[in-house]
A and B are shown apart, each in its own frame.
Chain A
């Protein structure tokens, strides 16, 4: 079962005449943290939608730990050990923090009492302990981002896709999320992260992949990718300045 990680080959998605993702290759090995970056509209979120089963690819292969994910529904992909968060947070607004996470926990635990215990553990782990019984609609944006992560984590994924969990957060909150991501990684979860906060993605990623107009234009160690002239030309210019 476990072993090969995520493998994407020749992934293409067309929406009518628009090619959102074009012959994209990507691998995420077990234990790896890969950053997926690129300008707005580069196709990053589309890649997530394709991998998590929200869209069907026009062409290409998506394998995760030896199983093809193409054609599987999102819940089946989640049960197979691949969870995602949403860029625009999607909490179950009427449910409490704990109940939100319990929904995820039911993937691995059938029993309600056990799911509650499991979910409570994860709520504490992401630092939402004090907000446990608060309805999700009353959470701050930073807490909702944590809730997204907690709900994904509760499904016990081997690979977690994080879609801009830091956007809209202040520097203190970003530091806290970086710490959280490191702790998630140390639990043995591999991560594929879309992020615009360059400082964070450079610090976290083992490897960076750059998407531009739906195509991969660079891949490699974060420092090397950040210096790549093609990448800078595509969009990184100002962001790289920021990191100095």
Chain B
């Protein structure tokens, strides 16, 4: 990234009460390609900063209403979305003044009247530091994503869903909303690996997740790899009846799909165990564990009854009976 591109990313907030100095600052910085917003005192600067994040603040020290030192302290005490590099402009040049300015949280100071080449050089220093912060944040974000992602299928991993599920459960209980889990397992997946090889098996898993993602709500639902060929789908705002409809669509789609690997078509089927609750479910029956255990129980029943099917129930046994009576459970092969 060259410096002119960098300038676009670092708008500068200038707080300066002297109109002559303010004009020179504006023009010097704009000529360098920076976006500059200037105001005439620290109070206005801080009010603006609260509405819009500026990674660089250039502030005069002595100003009416709120001086540069107060502005600096206010900025440091404010929860900003990133680091703010503050440069104080001052005609004060005693060591004590400089120390006081830096102790207030300023990163650097420039003497007034400032020398334009010196100011540009100091702004470049602060952009290098801010760019370093940005790249560290990006690296942290990449690591965070890696830590919650299954490397093969790019779905969430078990660690992520183990953390997220209790939060979803808590939220659903608090707001008396429905929530369902779908535990799905590819039937006889070992045969795919044994017949076509592990690369084919991996490809099937990748495409399987991709297929499921086409059916679930991108911003609300989530799918995680729970085991080898076992996946957990969390469906907020969805009761077990709704989850059954979704799972039946998934089952139908997967069973008809051809997974192509090295020009060979691979057919698979999948079994779905569903659990869930709604506002009528007794809170004492609801937990992440009860949801997973119930879904696992229904998945096991699918396997016992011949696979390629959907079985569902509420975590509350009394409600499960109602669900079964509605014949929402699919039994076709």
Instruction: Answer yes or no: do A and B interact.
Output: no
Give A contacts to B, CB under 8 Å. Answer: none
Give B contacts to A, CB under 8 Å. Answer: none
